[in-house]
Amino acid sequence: MIIKRIDVLSAGKIAAIIAAAIGLIAGVMFFLFGSLLGALLGSALGHEGGGMMAGGFLGIIILPILYGIFGFIGGVIQALIYNLAAGIVGGLRVETE
């Protein structure tokens, strides 16, 4: 089987979903470690760490959106380049059983 062409929008959507999932994981990590750092800094300085926690909540919302947008753009660009290259060399050969 030879893959001769990849649908550009389909590749962009899949890349966006994968990147958004990675962005969600990064946002959760940012929230957890940001909250921990804020609490440690707040207790050391005698303040509360609410600012770091708010930044963590924003990370959970904003990072998946940004990762998804840039993942879509990257997926579209990669599919376009693949289609150009496949037109020159004939495509990607995949062996299945």
What was the pLDDT predicted at 38? Answer: 60
Give the pair of three-digit tokens for residue 13: 């959507």
- Structural domain harbouring 8: 2-93
Taking the chain (97 residues) in runs of 10, the rounded mean pLDDT of each run is: 89 95 90 68 56 66 92 96 92 85
Show contacts of 50-56: CB within 8 Å, 24+ apart: 55/30, 56/27, 56/30, 56/31, 56/32
Q: Tell me, what's the pLDDT at 75?
A: 96
pLDDT of 49 reads: 47
What's the number of domains the chain is made of? 1
